[in-house]
Structure 1
């Protein structure tokens, strides 16, 4: 697997799994019916932010990540990131590789920490992955996410110093 900067040609592959993940409504705080135009604008970021793809040797896009400052101005030294792995490629280390890439990117860009603002507490695979990469839960917004099957569940704010 190679992780590289996303190109406009990657968008159709990203959109194919992004729209499915968002429509299910279990892990992302985006509108479940997000349009392709809205999704592209929110996912494909310009510098100094970065959007990348994880690609298999045969060219298949396995997942994607976007990395950016968490806030502006005096708080711009904290990075954030979002990740999506094509469901058919889950459990194969794609998320971990993207997470490690994001941490390396943030360090290289001079960020002091990385913060995830909205990790759905019932997304146990993501929570376990981020914990294994050194993140801790700073707090949980009770009932901050309306899960389609589990009802209102918490949103973790996760943080790691770099």
Structure 2
């Protein structure tokens, strides 16, 4: 089930969030950020945040926000995280599909991912299957904990008609 995220949900999700940012393989977030900084970034700054829950477990989450201001506020941006034990079960796909529907309901005309780490093959392939195109490559934009400097992609998809 996907629903809006509460602070209690984020508390359950925090170990996943912390694990993802500490791995330094997919997100350009400070691995030293506090719980409150992470909560503000993921839940307070965006327009909305959602969770994928199964029983009392939070298996994944995403946020949605405008990618720009003023004349660019018709394009949204999202970030997704899935608990390590739940990966490979289609949760990211469900979260992304849900986020696209929410984006359309909120009036967004397109969705853009500003920095998809090129070494994140699973995410790149999934986003492409879901209709996102690589519209730009930022050379050596991400310092991967295992691979060193790798490229990041800007990915984009028009929504609706």
Secondary structure at 2:88's aligned position in 1? coil
- Please, what TM-score do these two structures have when normalized by structure 1? 0.95
Output aligned runs, 1:1-162, within 5 Å.
2-45=1-44, 49-56=47-54, 58-162=55-159
| Residue range with higher mean Cα deviation, 31-40 or 116-125 | 31-40
Secondary structure at 2:154's aligned position in 1? strand
Give the whole-Å Cα distance in 2 for the aligned partners of 1:124 and 1:76.
29
Aligned length: 159
Give the whole-Å Cα distance in 2 for the aligned partners of 1:154 and 1:37.
30
- Please, what TM-score do these two structures have when normalized by structure 2? 0.96
Structure 1 unaligned blocks of 5 or more: none
**Deviant stretches of 4+, over 4 Å:** none
- Which digits, 9 at most, give the CA deviation of each residue in 1:126-148, with x for residues without a partner? 00110011000001100000001
How far is 1:11 from its partner?
A: 1.5
- Which digits, 9 at most, give the CA deviation of each residue in 1:26-78, with x for residues without a partner? 0001112221121111001367x11000011x221100000010011110000
User: CA RMSD, aligned part only?
Assistant: 1.0
Structure 2 unaligned blocks of 5 or more: none
